[in-house]
Structure 1
Amino acid sequence: MLWLLFGFMMIMFSLNPANDWGELVAVASFFGVICYLVSLASMFSLVKPQRKALLVINPGAAVTVPWSRIRSIDAQNGLVVQVVGAKEVVCHAFQGSLVGRIFGAASANRAADSIERYRTRSASLEASDEVESRVPLRRHLLWLTSIWSVLAIAVPLGVRLL
């Protein structure tokens, strides 16, 4: 929704002949950062069981937890992976909520059950025992620059050429 709203606002700014390219770039830079932050919080989270480890991608970091280091997967208030010898990993894709506390977090429970089934069926315990956490800087930079370039260059150029 914000992408559409900011795109519409960029079209309106671009249609006004009083706005020069410097103003359009400044406004698009502001909208680009806001769209990036919203995208970061809403689109980048996932939990993916792999053969050697459980991959948890949160907005700020990607954490790889080997199956041998997982103590339990708790779904009481969002999905939380309890790790032996390290701090727990909260999965932002299945965050807890007030509604979930009242009625039960069905999606987090289904995810935890699916991960446990995968773990017992096809997980390999031969992986390294190190929990790895990394920040995917390349992905973040690509998203930020692509959002900015669309809002700052493509939308005003398309509107002014038509």
Structure 2
Amino acid sequence: MMLMFSLNPANDWGELVGVASFFAIICYLVSLTSMFSLVKPRREALLVVNPGAEFTVPWSRIRSIDTQNGFVIKLAGSEEIACHAFQGSFLGRLFGNASAKRASGAIEKCRIGRGSRESSGEVESKVPWMRPLSWLALIWSAFAIAVPAVARLL
């Protein structure tokens, strides 16, 4: 659609930048919901990266991991951290969420192996801003500069 808008000679660069900004924001929001999610066991803690937040969970704070509908880490107390890397789905409910169960088993092994080292501390949460900001800049520059320039050259 952006390419077709760029090929129309009646549209000037101001309109192209406006339309490109709209598409860049839409692509950025889609990337926030579909990218950058992971669960990574580390020596001192479990790292959970979701699109909008990053959590470092000490091994001693993890009570259990629930894989019934997605992937939820239950902490001591009543806190829960859902991981977007293993989303719940209808097919997952039918077939048993195999990937979430494998990840849960691997994390449980790490937790048991490292549970003797009482890693104390609170759950650290932070909002990573550099990676999403760089993706927004990359997407915007592709839509606002690259696509119209290439379309007008051809």
Settle same-fold status: TM greater than 0.5.
yes
Distance 1:84 1:23, change over 3 A: same
Tell me what 1:3 maps to.
none
- For these two proteins, the number of residue pairs brought into alignment is 154
Tell me what 1:136 maps to.
128
Amino acid at match of 1:102: L
Distance 1:51 1:86, change over 3 A: farther
CA contact (8 A) 2:59 2:114 kept: no
Kindly state the Cα deviation for residue 123 of structure 1 after the two structures are TM-superposed. Answer: 6.8
Tell me what 2:150 maps to.
158
Unpaired segments of 5 or more residues in structure 2?
Answer: none
* CA deviation profile, 1:66-87 (whole Å, cap 9, x unmatched): 1111111111111110111351
Tell me what 2:140 maps to.
148
Q: How does 1:1-162 map to 2 (within 5 A)?
A: 9-85=1-77, 87-121=79-113, 125=117, 127-162=119-154
What's the % identity of the aligned pairs?
Answer: 68
TM-score by length of 2: 0.91
Q: Secondary structure at the match of 1:139?
A: helix
Kindly state the Cα deviation for residue 104 of structure 1 after the two structures are TM-superposed. Answer: 1.0
Q: Which moved more, 1:27-36 or 1:112-121?
A: 112-121
Tell me what 1:6 maps to.
none
Distance 1:154 1:85, change over 3 A: same
Kindly state the Cα deviation for residue 145 of structure 1 after the two structures are TM-superposed. Answer: 1.5
Q: Secondary structure at the match of 2:71?
A: strand
* CA deviation profile, 1:29-72 (whole Å, cap 9, x unmatched): 11101111111111111111111111111111011101111111
Kindly state the Cα deviation for residue 27 of structure 1 after the two structures are TM-superposed. Answer: 0.8
CA contact (8 A) 2:70 2:100 kept: yes
CA contact (8 A) 1:50 1:123 kept: no
TM-score by length of 1: 0.87
Amino acid at match of 1:140: P
Distance 1:63 1:26 in 2: 36
Unpaired segments of 5 or more residues in structure 1?
Answer: 1-8
Distance 1:19 1:128 in 2: 60
Distance 1:15 1:123 in 2: 61
Q: Which moved more, 1:95-104 or 1:28-37?
A: 95-104
CA contact (8 A) 2:60 2:115 kept: no
